[in-house]
Chain A
């Protein structure tokens, strides 16, 4: 029955300093859902990128439908009817769904028989039909910027189908979806298989693989560990193979001991940049020694919530107090001094001055204090000293020590630098916004340990994350935000994942 459609033979790919893929050979059959499992940095994205033509292998060969191919560009890959949905969607935000889908393959007609124009009506019609056929429920005339993440993903799927792709690659497709959205995504994937498509799923989530995949390849540090039949293998077994040794998925955590209320937010509303209400009438309290985690789908007001507590954007009404001091109208600096540390989501543009050196970035929020300057004159030696201390204490690695330009450092080390800087201020409140996005699994575990350590020290911790695993792992209290409102606040042990999902979608409200 199984007819091979993609074959990797002895694929090797090297990048400066690392071997991303080391002699990987595997075969994918037509009409199956094939999962590629591995930690961040295991080489799974690199492997499929070579199938899609983003990279070319340094050694080995790729066979498509039994024929040896040199896939030198994504364009060539698509002529072999290979399509890919990237983690970051490639959509034009101010275009309609149909315009996005036909981009590059526009149907044309001629005005008066000789002036060409794009036949958008035909496109709308074709795409509506395609959407119907696969049950994707997408209106071709909607504009992308008004769609949510799950719909954008479907637009990406339609884009591949419109190009008549037979081999569909998904890179971490469920990372930003709610449990319910994941369900319907997996339904779509299954219906694609029914229609004879071959699906390659890159992921590190075992539950999805168990739910949908037929076979699964496990990569670890660039090497293919094994290819297994999903049905006959347990999730634990797969996890063990993925990390190479037994690990507990849970971060060790003593029971919480709540102290006084540190942060008290009362009836806070925040307007977004476009003037809409992004956060609506939100109230909550965080105690010393508590991890208060906010779950929610991206773009439901999390950014505005964190930013307005940190003072980066004003709140339109309500009251914020910290340790009993009213800071509702305080400036960013006054809030830092009142005791708010903040690890922002956007480490490149907000958390760091990328073109500063590591040494200059570490005192970014304290440079004016007597520790680093005197009467407006900076003490270089204190910068050097501080850099040396933090580098050692938090294991920040860089090529040229304190003189390294931040931009040239790896994402993991950039994040370490921010966390080191913020934790070192030893503030009563510390806010983590998406602290582990884009980090590899080792670094992720490390950050989560630091979050717990801060709580154990007696700090109030606000954790905002799109990753439900992370929230479940760290939280003492879970809040769910939907459309700017906190719909539910519950002790972590009293709420199930499914329930969180329903609140995240706004299906359930408190």
Chain B
């Protein structure tokens, strides 16, 4: 049972985590990002379209569609994120409103297009793309370690991808000049401008990255939890990852901790329901856990948090 909790918990927590990292990029650059939910959904949509299309070409045994799906999810999520960047940076829309608007737009566009594509290319009227669940890998030897071995058992390939990416994203944010400029934008954009760096470009890039990373998360959810793409992908996981990054005080490692708590709360709850032999409708009760937990955590931690100083402020070059 413990094994299942760890395996399922990780496969839920890691996509959440990479999305939170995306959120950190955006918010550290000074753009409030409530649009993660929409980004992951849109990314999952483009990825799924690619998978369904490529499966038709390469056949269902090939690995190509699987990886291509992730690449297209990254592209789709990133491109969609550019709309948020456009609204927030160019049109100076309220960033909170823009974020929520993006989520609604993503949901409307993807459900409409899913149905249209199914109707015109595959001749059915379904509102989903079937993907099937991802294959799983078990790392030899490491998985034999008692208890902790479960971390290396039955892992989805995307989990490895996410861990690698997270390390790279951490390095970029804290060690490179791009990351340094990005973090400066979130504190005092005027200083960045005065240093001859284009604030708008840095922020646009940051939002783009958040879209790319969310796309990976969305695709991971589509491949693991639901095994298909449908509008059910919008279950509020994007908001959950925002809660994680707030709780993680806009830092990468603490946010990982928050995501793990959510993941294990969820998988632990399910395991308990299973163990007690309750009907599956009781799973709905368990699904409440991460949300309630988030609220409680926020209640206890929001006070002590310091968001980036320029977060949510519209930056206008002419103003001082």
Residues of A within 8 A of B (CB): 74-75, 78, 86, 88, 90-95, 99-100, 103-106, 108, 115-118
Contact among B184, B193, B196, B320 for A88, CB-based, below 8 A: B320
Contact A93 B192 (CB under 8 A): no
Contact A92 B177 (CB under 8 A): no
Task: Tell me which residues from 198 to 247 in chain B have a Cβ below 8 Å from any Cβ of chain A.
Answer: none
Contact among B181, B183, B188 for A91, CB-based, below 8 A: B188
Interface size on B, residues (CB 8 A): 20
- CB-CB under 8 A from A115, the residues of chain B are 171
- CB-CB under 8 A from A93, the residues of chain B are 187-188, 309
- 30 A-B contacts (beta carbon < 8 Å): A74-B193, A74-B196, A75-B196, A86-B194, A86-B320, A88-B320, A90-B188, A90-B190, A90-B191, A90-B193, A91-B191, A93-B187, A93-B188, A94-B183, A95-B183, A95-B184, A95-B187, A99-B184, A103-B181, A103-B192, A104-B181, A104-B192, A104-B197, A106-B177, A106-B180, A108-B177, A115-B171, A117-B175, A117-B176, A118-B175
Q: Is B276 an interface residue (CB 8 A)?
A: no
Contact A92 B188 (CB under 8 A): yes
Task: Tell me which residues from 96 to 113 in chain B have a Cβ below 8 Å from any Cβ of chain A.
Answer: none
| Minimum Cβ distance to chain A for residue B60 (Å) | 38
Contact B176 A103 (CB under 8 A): no
- CB-CB under 8 A from A95, the residues of chain B are 180, 183-184, 187
- CB-CB under 8 A from B278, the residues of chain A are none
- CB-CB under 8 A from A116, the residues of chain B are 176-177
Bound Cα distance A67, B216 (Å): 54
Bound Cα distance A93, B195 (Å): 15
Contact among A92, A108, A117 for B191, CB-based, below 8 A: A92
| Minimum Cβ distance to chain B for residue A126 (Å) | 16
Contact A118 B176 (CB under 8 A): yes
Bound Cα distance A148, B181 (Å): 24
Contact B320 A118 (CB under 8 A): no
| Minimum Cβ distance to chain B for residue A13 (Å) | 15
Contact among A86, A104, A118 for B195, CB-based, below 8 A: A104
Bound Cα distance A429, B35 (Å): 50
**Which single residue of chain A is at the shortest CB-CB distance from B195?**
A104
Contact among B176, B177, B187 for A94, CB-based, below 8 A: B187
Bound Cα distance A421, B134 (Å): 68
| Most-contacted residue by chain B among A75, A90, A106 (CB, 10 A) | A90
**Which single residue of chain A is at the shortest CB-CB distance from B190?**
A90
The 7 closest A-B pairs by CB, nearest first: A104-B195, A90-B191, A75-B196, A106-B177, A90-B194, A117-B175, A103-B195
Contact B187 A92 (CB under 8 A): yes
- CB-CB under 8 A from A103, the residues of chain B are 180-181, 184, 191-192, 195, 197
- CB-CB under 8 A from B181, the residues of chain A are 103-104
- CB-CB under 8 A from B184, the residues of chain A are 92, 95, 99, 103
